[in-house]
Amino acid sequence: MTTTDTAAQSQPFQAEVAELLNLMVHSVYSETDIFLRELISNASDALDKLRYESIAKPELMADGGEPKIRIVPKKEPDTLSVIDNGLGMDRQELIDNLGTIAKSGTKSFLTKLTEAKDGAGLIGQFGVGFYAAFMVADRIVVTSRRAGSAEAWTWSSSGGAGFEIAPASEEDAARVVRGTEIVLHMKKDAAKYLEPYEIERVVGAYSDNIQFPIELVPEDGEPRQINSASALWQRSKSELTPEDYAQAYKQIAGAFDEPAMTLHYRAEGRYSYAVLLFAPSTKPFDLFEPARKGHVKLYVRRVFITNDADLLPSYLRFIRGVIDSEDLPLNLSREMLQNNPQLAQIRKAVTGKVIGELESLGDKDPEAFGRIWDAFGLVIKEGIWEDYERREKLLALSRFTTTKGENRTLKQYVEDLKENQTEIYYLVGDSIERLKSNPKLESAAARGIEVLLLTDPVDAFWTSAPLDFQGKPLKSLSQGDVDFGMIPTTEETKDEPEKPETDEALTIAAIKDALGDKVSDVRASQRLTASASCLVAGGLGPDRALERMLAQQNRGAASKPILEVNLRHPIVAAVAKANAADAADLSLLLLEQAQILDGELPEDPAAFSARLNRLVLRAL
Ligand code: ADP
């Protein structure tokens, strides 16, 4: 130990912690009860970690008694202690864990929280953990001893700017043999948490499913256990109520919302394991943080092993819960986690189960499924691209806004196919409104053909894989050729304008001539009925929307599009008859209009408006 280590030291909080504490104190979150849940949850984690480490080093468990959590209320002075004999923390861990927040995306989250009116709702997505205790306490003293260590340390803070760290006094060190003691000096208005019945109420409501015994130690009277201390996932479905599951979800996931889906079963056979998984009903704030890992906990015979065994594919990273294996060895190393064939088998089977359960939820309880889809549809769609094997199943889960309405499935789409229609059509763009007015829909609309309107950023990606659903290929209306020839137009639109008497070849040649290498080709369009022109991508390679996205991120130059023109349109017909200068103006205008309709800017906006003015003036 160096001399600085032995003296008491003041340290500032990381800026994010100070900001969070400030928010806690000014109580954005009115449900103060949750502080106890957070502390108990941390204590339980520490007991889990000790049990795991002691597999390799049984001596860590030697002193300090059977794993348990104790809650000790005292009056005069008003203190509430939460004590565990888990793994504990050394000096550096106290500094790191209780002075910083390691979560990625914290900064942007806090900014959102400060600006939001509904701070309470948001903070639930974040999970404030230990710091929640500052809602009820104006001073917190933590004494901790890492299992097996000769030293104990005391961390203390009154919130505000920082904390103090010092070696534990002899008396404190003698009391904390292993693990962590957290002493809360309660605020006046939080004194109710010193009443035994109040503590029992909160533990019953939030922490009953903690696997370890929780003991209440009243000032007068015998200590007594106040939770059921069993692993809920090991119990049989028939003895559990929806409330039990909801509570287990909140406790296991550290969540505040209700689960939108619960999956509880036991697999028997070559491998035996229990599964208890939940789909949340709200989106966590870090869903798209690259560092966000899976949240399914791996247990082996009720011993917690790890949080990040990648038990589900990343497109199911919103699923929370537990998988508890009967057969895996307890001493699983990193490498074993990655290469274990049994784990791979479990992963595969559970992934299939989750998708199956989502599917049947979609049929049985569309409202609950809708909540999952609204929050996580974006993530699930990543799987269409990533998981070749389950592509069809994921497509079946997906819900789409189409020209027919919202929340349409591909199954419904296929059932409603038009006579002779063999493909599923879609259009990718920035917003539903813009897509709806896109001329590329005209001919499809005239035939009553349904078109998927895709506006999520991820849509540009998954659609770039070759896809079909129930044997029907998915086809972009802004890529390659479309052939609606065999599909009859509906009654009302049969009276399209007569094709004017101009030479098709001549018109196309004139436009091509005028546009030169600005486009890769010019051709007559099957897509348009009213508009004059549109741009499409070639049959191979990326669709226009993906190209545009990649180009925006400077990942590859966009290739030249094809200009399709509507030979029935008077402006198009006029090109062949016009003189060279006018033909050039008209052709460029056809191109620029098409760009604007796709949400792009003409290459040279000044030249575009000059050209437009020239033509308007002429007409006047
Ligand atoms: P979270 O639990 O979400 O990680 P917290 O702020 O609640 O965030 O706690 C931060 C870290 O402090 C925990 O991850 C853990 O490493 C450590 N910690 C908190 N309480 C305890 C405890 N009772 N025993 C051991 N470590 C603890």
Instruction: Sort strands 162-167 and 562-565 into parallel, antiparallel or unpaired.
Output: unpaired
Nearest CA residue ID for atom 21, ligand 1: 42
Nearest CA residue ID for atom 27, ligand 1: 42
Residues 170/174/175/180 CA torsion (nearest 10 deg): 90
Task: Give distance in angstroms: CA of 535 to centre of ligand 1.
Answer: 56
Task: Give distance in angstroms: CA of 63 to centre of ligand 1.
Answer: 22
Residue with tokens 């806090």: 110
Closest ligand 1 atom, CA of 142?
23
Task: Give distance in angstroms: CA of 36 to centre of ligand 1.
Answer: 13
Task: Give distance in angstroms: CA of 56 to centre of ligand 1.
Answer: 22
pLDDT of residue 526: 85
Residue-averaged pLDDT of the chain? 89
- 255-287 residue pLDDT tens: 888 999 999 999 998 899 999 999 999 887 777
- What CA–CA distance (Å, rounded) separates 347 from 316? 12
Can you tell me whether residue 479 is helix, strand or coil? Answer: strand
Q: Are 404 and 522 in contact (CB under 8 A)?
A: no
Closest ligand 1 atom, CA of 131?
6
Give the pLDDT mean for 369-397: 95
Q: Are 283 and 376 in contact (CB under 8 A)?
A: yes
Nearest CA residue ID for atom 7, ligand 1: 129
- 90-118 residue pLDDT tens: 999 999 999 988 777 777 777 777 776 65
Neighbours of 406 (CB within 10 A): 11
Closest ligand 1 atom, CA of 102?
4
pLDDT of residue 208: 82
130 is in an annotated binding site: yes
608 is in an annotated binding site: no
- 511-566 residue pLDDT tens: 999 999 999 999 998 888 899 999 998 877 778 878 777 777 776 666 889 999 99
> Is any ligand 1 atom within 6 A of the Cβ of residue 130?
yes
**97 to 5, 94, 100, 107, 150: CA distances (angstroms):** 17, 5, 6, 17, 20
Q: Are 291 and 104 in contact (CB under 8 A)?
A: yes
**Adjacency order of strands within the sheet including 137-145:** 9-12, 162-167, 153-157, 137-145, 179-186, 79-84, 69-74, 214-216, 224-225
Residues 321/322/323/326 CA torsion (nearest 10 deg): -160
Task: Give distance in angstroms: CA of 283 to centre of ligand 1.
Answer: 23
97 is in an annotated binding site: yes
Q: Regarding the domain delimited by 232-369, which CATH topology (the fold level of the hierarchy) does it fall under?
A: Ribosomal Protein S5; domain 2 (3.30.230)
Closest alpha carbon to 36 in 87, 85, 81, 86: 81
Task: Give distance in angstroms: CA of 199 to centre of ligand 1.
Answer: 21
> Is any ligand 1 atom within 6 A of the Cβ of residue 129?
yes
Residue 535 bridge partners (DSSP): 563
Closest ligand 1 atom, CA of 84?
23
> Is any ligand 1 atom within 6 A of the Cβ of residue 97?
yes
> Is any ligand 1 atom within 6 A of the Cβ of residue 86?
yes
> Is any ligand 1 atom within 6 A of the Cβ of residue 43?
yes
Is pLDDT larger for residue 8 or for residue 591? 591
pLDDT of residue 119: 57
- What CA–CA distance (Å, rounded) separates 86 from 144? 10
Task: Give distance in angstroms: CA of 97 to centre of ligand 1.
Answer: 6
Q: Are 187 and 138 in contact (CB under 8 A)?
A: yes
Give yes or no for residue 123 having a pLDDT over 70.
no
Please give the structure tokens belonging to residue 561: 């599009």
38 is in an annotated binding site: yes
Residue with tokens 């864990």: 97
Give yes or no for residue 496 having a pLDDT over 60.
no
Give yes or no for residue 304 having a pLDDT over 90.
no
89 is in an annotated binding site: yes
pLDDT of residue 118: 58
> 566: number of CA atoms within 13 Å, CB side?
22
419 is in an annotated binding site: no
Task: Give distance in angstroms: CA of 41 to centre of ligand 1.
Answer: 9
Nearest CA residue ID for atom 15, ligand 1: 97
Boundaries of every domain in the chain: 3-225, 232-369, 493-619
- What CA–CA distance (Å, rounded) separates 200 from 203? 5
- What CA–CA distance (Å, rounded) separates 528 from 524? 9
Buried b (16+ CB within 10 A) or exposed e, 388-398: eebbebbbbbb
Q: From the CA atom positions of the chain, what is the Rg in Å? A: 32
522 is in an annotated binding site: no
> Is any ligand 1 atom within 6 A of the Cβ of residue 46?
yes
> Is any ligand 1 atom within 6 A of the Cβ of residue 84?
yes
Which CATH superfamily, name and number, covers 493-619? Heat shock protein 90, C-terminal domain (1.20.120.790)
Confidence of residue 246 (pLDDT cuts 50, 70, 90): very high
365 is in an annotated binding site: no
Closest alpha carbon to 472 in 396, 383, 389, 387: 396
- 426-436 residue pLDDT tens: 999 989 998 99
Closest ligand 1 atom, CA of 254?
3
Is pLDDT larger for residue 312 or for residue 482? 312
Nearest CA residue ID for atom 16, ligand 1: 97
- What CA–CA distance (Å, rounded) separates 55 from 303? 10
pLDDT of residue 302: 85
Cβ-in-10-Å burial (0-12, 13-18, 19+) of 424 comes to buried
Give the pLDDT mean for 279-302: 80
- 170-206 residue pLDDT tens: 999 999 999 999 999 999 999 999 999 999 999 988 7
Neighbours of 103 (CB within 10 A): 17
Task: Give distance in angstroms: CA of 89 to centre of ligand 1.
Answer: 9
The domain over range 3-225 is classified in CATH as 3.30.565.10: yes
pLDDT of residue 293: 63
Q: Which of 20, 24, 37, 42 to mutate to test the pocket of ligand 1 (most atoms within 8 A of CB)?
A: 42
Q: Which of 81, 126, 130 to mutate to test the pocket of ligand 1 (most atoms within 8 A of CB)?
A: 130
Instruction: Sort strands 273-280 and 259-267 into parallel, antiparallel or unpaired.
Output: antiparallel
Give the pLDDT mean for 369-386: 95
Is pLDDT larger for residue 6 or for residue 18? 18
- What CA–CA distance (Å, rounded) separates 182 from 193? 15
Give yes or no for residue 333 having a pLDDT over 80.
no
Confidence of residue 593 (pLDDT cuts 50, 70, 90): very high
6 is in an annotated binding site: no
Confidence of residue 307 (pLDDT cuts 50, 70, 90): confident
3 is in an annotated binding site: no
Neighbours of 194 (CB within 10 A): 19
Closest ligand 1 atom, CA of 179?
24
pLDDT of residue 3: 46
> Is any ligand 1 atom within 6 A of the Cβ of residue 42?
yes
- Considering Cα of 357, then 361, then 362, then 364, what sign does the dihedral take? positive
pLDDT of residue 28: 56
- What CA–CA distance (Å, rounded) separates 103 from 89? 19
105 is in an annotated binding site: yes
Q: Are 453 and 400 in contact (CB under 8 A)?
A: yes
Give kind and range of the element (H or E) at residue 508. helix 504-515
Which range has the top average pLDDT, 34-43, 99-108, 283-292, 368-377? 368-377
> Is any ligand 1 atom within 6 A of the Cβ of residue 48?
no
Give the pLDDT mean for 367-372: 96
Task: Give distance in angstroms: CA of 43 to centre of ligand 1.
Answer: 8
Of 126-130, 238-242, 466-470, the range with the lowest mean pLDDT is 126-130
Q: Please give the DSSP secondary-structure letter assigned to residue 316.
A: G
Task: Give distance in angstroms: CA of 87 to centre of ligand 1.
Answer: 11
Task: Give distance in angstroms: CA of 5 to centre of ligand 1.
Answer: 22
**496 to 335, 403, 529: CA distances (angstroms):** 67, 21, 7
**Adjacency order of strands within the sheet including 562-565:** 521-524, 562-565, 533-536
